Amino acid sequence: MTPAQLNAQFGIAGQLVFEEGQGGLTFARIDNAQGEAVLCLQGAHLVSWRPKDQAEPVVWVSDLAKYAPGKSIRGGAPVCWPWFGAHKTESGFPGHGYARTVPWAVTGSAVLADGATEITLTLIENDQARAQWPHNTRVELRAVVGAKLTLSLTTTNQGDAPVEIGEALHTYLRIGDIGEIAITGLEGCTYLDKVDGGQRKTQAGAVTCTGEVDRVYVNTTAACVIEDARLKRNVLIEKTGSAATVVWTPWTEKADKMGDFGPDGWRRMVCVESANAADNVVTVAPGQSHTLTAVYSAQTL
């Protein structure tokens, strides 16, 4: 659908407008009394979100993010689906699945009772999807933008055999400085340390960063808090339907190699990802659905 057709069917005057943007991609711009956000229809990729009581966005996007068909955007809340990380057997398949780089269709929009804006999308199966994912599944994303941000990723198994899903809302949160934050909520959890050969370790105390951190915390449904004294706020990440949490900062060397963080963009972001990965991939039975939900909010200190 063109932006004009999208606006005719799903636009909400003064709150939700569709427009063509960078790279010829279509974006939804959401602006209501409580919050503002931008969502790219490719990948159902929420690019940024700022609650109106915060000067700085809570969801970060790189100034050097590339916007192009088939290209993942550096920042926002990438949808990793239907696998997380490298594909189990096909090294040529894209890391974190294909969902974030294929077109999604808008299926609904609404103003909720509390004034928040809701938009729903579903992935459009194309040849790439069918070639990499020979299963009859439907995946939908629901985003609710207001004083909080809610993202829900629902997989429905429309086939006649169980299907295993790895997934994550790979969200980049805006912080004052990576060397000054602490992430609580994961104390005592087991994690796979991808910076140290995937070794299993136990988290002692809050998570702090003095170099690259790439950890998959397993068997945890806990909420996390990013304590950010520099921005004078805590960012809360609550979740349901997710048994793993990933914490990632690329630090300087990996960020330079990736080339789309900008000179020190990596210092102003940290990923806290609500996931089902590693020990916690989910199996969806025929005819059943599974939903992963993350709710983000900021509390000024």
Residue number with the shortest CB distance to ligand TA6? 248
Q: Which is nearer to ligand TA6, 14 or 197 (CB)?
A: 197
- What is the spatial distance between Cα 250 and Cα 46, in angstroms, rounded to a whole number? 21
CA dihedral 294, 284, 221, 120 (to 10 degrees): 10
Q: Which is nearer to ligand TA6, 54 or 101 (CB)?
A: 101
Amino acid at 236: L
The contact set with ligand TA6 (CB under 6 A) reads: 72, 85, 95-96, 170, 194, 214, 246, 248, 258, 271, 273
Q: H/E element holding 75?
A: none
Nearest distance in Å: CB 241, ligand TA6: 18
> Two tokens at 111?
């103003």
Nearest distance in Å: CB 260, ligand TA6: 8
Q: Which is nearer to ligand TA6, 13 or 257 (CB)?
A: 257
Phi, psi of 201 (to 5 degrees): -135, 170
Q: Maximum distance among all alpha carbons in the chain?
A: 53
β-sheet bridge partners, residue 141: 121, 153
Nearest distance in Å: CB 74, ligand TA6: 7
Nearest distance in Å: CB 263, ligand TA6: 18
Tell me if 141 sits within 8 A of 266, measured CB to CB. no
Q: Which is nearer to ligand TA6, 6 or 218 (CB)?
A: 218
Nearest distance in Å: CB 117, ligand TA6: 26
- What is the spatial distance between Cα 275 and Cα 194, in angstroms, rounded to a whole number? 15
Q: Which is nearer to ligand TA6, 169 or 235 (CB)?
A: 169
